[in-house]
Structure formats: C-alpha cells, structure tokens
Structure 1
C-alpha cells in the first residue's frame, strides 16, 4: 500500500454553469467501497431529478478505481472525472458530478471538459492535503540536556507533541521514518551516546500540499 498520499480534507461541493447546463461537483473523503457507494447513492437520492449523476472514486486499499458515465456518452464523463483524481495522485476520495441539462448539447469535447472541471472544482473545495506516515517517538534526557536534545529534534524536521517534566524530561515527538537514524546519530554525538530516541508506533499526520 502507498505510504504517503494525497486526499481531500473535507466533504464539499462547488458548481458552475456551462451552456445552460448546471454542473455540481461533490467530493468526500472515503476509505472503503461501501462509503463511496453510500455517498454516490445519497447524491442520487438528493438529485433524483438530475439528468446525470456521474461518479468516480479511488481507494488506497487494494488500489481500487471505479467510475460511471451514468448515461452520458461512453468516455465523456466518468473517465474524465477519474483522470482528474489519478493525475493528481489523490486517493481515498469519491467524486460525484451532477448535471442538470440546459437544452444545449455540449458535444464530446465539451462534455469531457465540463466533467473534468466538475471534478477539479470539487477537489479544490475539498482542500487537497498530504497524509504523511510518521513514527511516534520519545526521548528521555536530563534537564541539562533538554535544550540541546529538543533543538536537535526540531532542527531535523520532527514535531514535538508533548513534554513531560518528571525526575528527568520525556520528550514525545513524531518524525518521518527516514530521519530517525540521522537524529539518533546526532543525539549520540551531542550526548556522548547517552540519549537515543525510540519509536513505539506509526501514525498519519496531515500537512498542506504545496501549490
């Protein structure tokens, strides 16, 4: 399974009009096919009178990707929505693009562009974020060592989550897996081998995607 990945932060929607047809793009973070199907069905129920409810979704677990044109000409709707998801390397997301026909035919190219736009505005509204796998770590040091140890932890790019002041100091932090060995070498050099950080679990943390 993919380690670090992009997904959407929020369930959201956005809409636009193209040649009198109304398009509404919806997106939602999902982790299972059942969640995706439930979301699709909820939008079909909400927009029972729409001309089309096109969808696509992509899941990390099993690398599952599905789409439907929902009555639009083959290849003009569901696949363009899925293309937007896959080209942006976004996972655990479901997009539904609802269309109310406005009486003007868009043509094959026009449909592809409209459904692609529906997917893009939905993703923008949902706020694409990066989910990064990090090691949950801790390091124990004396009060005299605390300033140096905490500085090294932050300088390498780790984030301190908690500091417990007891007979000594326990620093709890999360760090990208590839940085732990380097940090431990720096800690050993700075404390004559007295301090080592240890990891007990792994967790995902959300960060902004660089535009």
Structure 2
C-alpha cells in the first residue's frame, strides 16, 4: 500500500557553500506539480536550480533543471520510490555557492535533502476511495448531508437543477454499507448514477 504525507515537510542543507532547500508535499497531478515548481522559480529568482521529482497516480517525473543529467531529479525520485510514496512532489531549490560538487556530490546532496525532509514528515497509508453519484429531491438534501457526514464521506460536488445531484467519495470498503443505508432510508428517492 502506498503512503502519502500528512503535511508538507521541509529541510535545508548547506554543502560547500551551496544551499539546498528541500520540500515534500502532496500533489494530485503533474499539472499541479508544474504550478508549484513555477511558483518556486518566482519565489527564488536567484536560485541556480529548481530540481524536482514526482510520483502521482502512475505519473512520474525527474527533472534536473540544468544540473548534470541524472544527478538531481532521478536520485530524488529514487528516494520517493524507496519510501513507497504516491501523490507526492519533492522539490529542491539550490543556491550555488561557487564550489562544484561533482556528480557524486550532487547525487548525495539531492538525495540527502529529500531524505532529511522525509525524516521530518509523517507518512500515512493511502486508502483507496470510491466516487459515487446520486440524484435526489431537494427535500432530501439535508438528510443526505447528515448521512454523509456521519459516514465520513467527502462531499465533492453538489449541483442544483430540477433535483440535487451529489458526487461523494469514501473508502472503498465502506461504500456498499453507505449505499445500502441510503437506499433503505431514502424512501426510494435516491437514484444512483455512473460517475
């Protein structure tokens, strides 16, 4: 089972006058990761490199951002894989200190930066979730919201048209029980749709 982060974590290393600012955070997609990296570039205009590694829903990336090929992004990605993470972005902002570290030194620096950030992180197992969609009359919306809250389901979207359309998610192992309870107590007014 893959792990995720409970909260973002950071670490800072200084190696032979170069500063390495590492951050590990949850992301859902490559697009979100690219936005975060672009923001880091704006926040750190004097940085020599903004290297990053991504593992998110089967998507992976390892970007060296001008460092010698294979000395930054790939080692960072290996650290994430070793910890069995998913839905996670690791970034390291490097301020060059004027002393070249060599390929081995760069690999150690980027690996150590991510590993130290992960040492500060709290990992939690990812729980497989199922999305469900139902339609019901307006008069039943308040009842449905209370049922979802009691079940620990996440209300992802609500559309108000001729009826109320609700998209929700919850752990897969709880979906059948919730659906059965809503069917039994919904007075035949809960209609399920494909998501």
TM-score range, shorter chain: 0.5 to 0.7
Q: Which moved more, 1:78-87 or 1:10-19?
A: 10-19
Q: For 2:171 and 2:65, how far apart are their aligned partners in 1?
A: 44
Cα deviation for residue 113 of structure 1 reads 0.5
Root-mean-square deviation (CA), in Å? 2.4
Is the alpha carbon distance of 1:43 and 1:126 closer, same or farther for their aligned partners in structure 2, counting shifts above 3 Å? farther
Q: Specify the alignment match of 1:26 in structure 2.
A: 23
Q: Specify the alignment match of 1:167 in structure 2.
A: none
Is the alpha carbon distance of 1:175 and 1:54 closer, same or farther for their aligned partners in structure 2, counting shifts above 3 Å? closer
Structure 2, gaps ≥5 residues long: 131-149, 152-169, 180-195
- Corresponding residue pairs, total: 141
CA contact 2:29–2:59 (8 Å) conserved in 1: no
Residue correspondence of structure 1 range 59-208 to structure 2 within 5 A: 59-60=56-57, 63-133=58-128, 177=173, 199-200=177-178
CA contact 2:8–2:23 (8 Å) conserved in 1: yes
Secondary structure of the equivalent of 1:80? helix
Q: For 2:12 and 2:38, how far apart are their aligned partners in 1?
A: 19
Q: Which moved more, 1:32-41 or 1:68-77?
A: 32-41
Is the alpha carbon distance of 1:69 and 1:86 closer, same or farther for their aligned partners in structure 2, counting shifts above 3 Å? same
Cα deviation for residue 35 of structure 1 reads 1.3
Q: For 2:171 and 2:42, how far apart are their aligned partners in 1?
A: 44
Q: Specify the alignment match of 1:5 in structure 2.
A: 2
Deviations 1:97-139 (A, max 9, x none): 011111211111110010001111222333222123489xxxx
| Structure (1 or 2) with the larger CA radius of gyration | 1
